[in-house]
Amino acid sequence: MAPCGKPAAAVAGASAGAVAAPAPGVKRDSTLEVMVASMVGTAIEFYDNYCYSIAAASYFGLIFFTDVAKSDPVLATLLAFVTFAVSFLARPFGSLLFGHFGDRLGRKKTLVAALMLMGAATFCVGLLPGYDVLGPAAVVLLCVCRACQGLGLAGEWSGAALVATENAPTNKRALFGSFPNLGAPIGFFCAYGVNLLLDTMLPADAMVAWGWRIPFLLSCLLVIVGLVVRLRMSETPVYKKAAAEQRTTKTPLRDLCHHWRRVVLGTCTMSITYTLFYVLGTWSLSYGTSTLGFTQQQYLGMQMVSVVFFAGFILVGCLTADKRGRKPVLLVGNACTLVFSFVAPLLLGGHNVAAIMVFLCVGFACMGTIFGPCGSYLPELFPAKVRYSGAGLSYNLAAITGGAFAPTIASALVMTFGIQALGWYMGGMAAVALVALLFFRESKDVDFEQ
């Protein structure tokens, strides 16, 4: 079956509400267990990332670049956005590390390790002293924590996507692939909800002094829940069958070299989602409060409403991808994003709540339409023996090309050329994805036998 093809008639009778029937004597996780196990880690991943992005946009310039902030607050915020990018630069190394063990030792053990590293690094960010206490060493430690976050995050999404898709009936693989991706709006909602609550309850000086730490420290509760769920789950049936038939490999990274074209395709397809993530979630928060005159609470409230469109269109995209194929949905999503890029600058002309809500809701709808099907599209590009490595590397290279410097690039372009440059940036990234989808041939050896 091609990754974007329709399901075969032989599997048309598979149960819509449960995972395919297990072999006798083999323990299989229920659909609910698969959904929770794949969703919880991604929710934590995006909670961590969004908490950091909010702090970078609002507080880290003052806390970790104090001397710069006294003379040039905008430059201090840009430097904080650079620390935000450190995590993304570490992610390809994390995908190689966790992909190696995920393809050699299995999905379950690797996911547990990735979650523990990710959670510990986030918790430590909440404990870090600022520049006033440690001087430049505070920035170094922040970057170390951020790099460790990136290593853990790198192994998280790809493993969660494999837990979902390698437990799925063939005709529901895109729907199952939506489980980890739905963790993104959940994490977004929790991160922005906690920060909105704190901004409402605490004065600005308290938030700068200590309130910003609370969201990072609270992440430990989510990590505990995630570990409990992950430790209870079973290895995926696809990996167990591949291991029993000796179709795994001791050198997954070397074997992945034969599939480099698919890595390029996956990276180009996925990059636009990261650009949209951090233009809508991070850059626009900074721009809305510093330039358009919204308060932090007002803009966070609008973002929390708009994230409902993100979640809704993840489901719409995945349900349509199961019926019509992955590639057509991704093409339509990117085409809509290209059109949106021409309209977006017109919506950011002033303090207009209706215009900002259209900007956020339409942007998140485009993002959900593309992001949802990628939960099955990327794993389907690679055979089982290199799937963790291949899907993970594509996803995390896209994090660099699309998201690592998105807030910084958007800020620099708008400062230099005006708000219309934001449309050039988003439109260019959407065009890259469209070209890749149109001119790269997809693989047909999906290798999802259970």
Geometric angle at alpha carbon 265, from 262 and 270, rounded to 5°? 125
Phi, psi of 65, deg, nearest 5: -130, 50
The structure tokens 């719409």 sit at 316
pLDDT at 446: 63
Domain that holds residue 176: 30-230+239-439
Instruction: Give the C-alpha separation, 149 to 163, whole Å.
Output: 21
pLDDT at 405: 86
pLDDT at 249: 84
* Reported confidence tier of residue 245, pLDDT bands at 50, 70, 90: confident
Q: Residue 166 has which token pair?
A: 């390698």
**What mean pLDDT is predicted for residues 24-34?**
69
Q: Is 25 within the bounds of a domain? A: no
Lowest mean pLDDT among 112-126, 344-358, 416-430: 112-126
Spatial contact of 154 and 14, defined as CB atoms under 8 Å apart: no
For residue range 258-273, list pLDDT tens digits in order: 999 999 999 999 999 9
Q: Is 204 within the bounds of a domain? A: yes
**How many domains would you assign to the chain?**
1
* Reported confidence tier of residue 449, pLDDT bands at 50, 70, 90: low
For residue range 403-430, list pLDDT tens digits in order: 888 988 999 999 999 999 999 999 999 9
Lowest mean pLDDT among 24-38, 119-133, 296-310: 24-38
**Which residues are within 8 A (CB) of 31 and not within 5 positions of it... i.e. 6 or more apart?**
17, 18, 19
Q: Is 75 within the bounds of a domain? A: yes
Spatial contact of 47 and 183, defined as CB atoms under 8 Å apart: no
**What mean pLDDT is predicted for residues 65-81?**
88
**What mean pLDDT is predicted for residues 326-343?**
96
**What mean pLDDT is predicted for residues 244-258?**
88
* Reported confidence tier of residue 281, pLDDT bands at 50, 70, 90: confident
Q: Is 14 within the bounds of a domain? A: no
Polymer length in residues for the chain: 450
Mean pLDDT for the chain? Answer: 87
DSSP 405: T
Answer whether residue 6 shows pLDDT above 80. no
Q: Is 10 within the bounds of a domain? A: no
Q: What is the largest distance, in Å, between two alpha-carbon atoms of the chain?
A: 70
Lowest mean pLDDT among 40-49, 59-68, 256-265, 275-284: 40-49
pLDDT at 174: 93
pLDDT at 8: 38
pLDDT at 1: 39
For residue range 153-195, list pLDDT tens digits in order: 888 888 889 989 998 888 899 999 999 999 988 988 898 889 8
Q: Is 9 within the bounds of a domain? A: no
Instruction: Give the C-alpha separation, 398 to 387, whole Å.
Output: 16
Say which CATH number the domain at 380 has. 1.20.1250.20
pLDDT at 16: 36
- Report helix angle 213-232 to 31-58, nearest 10: 160
Q: Is 19 within the bounds of a domain? A: no
pLDDT at 42: 83
Listed residue (392, 386, 436) closest to 257, CA to CA: 386
pLDDT at 450: 58
**Which residues are within 8 A (CB) of 98 and not within 5 positions of it... i.e. 6 or more apart?**
110, 113, 114, 151, 154, 155, 158, 159, 388, 392
For residue range 364-378, list pLDDT tens digits in order: 999 999 999 999 999
Q: Is 251 within the bounds of a domain? A: yes
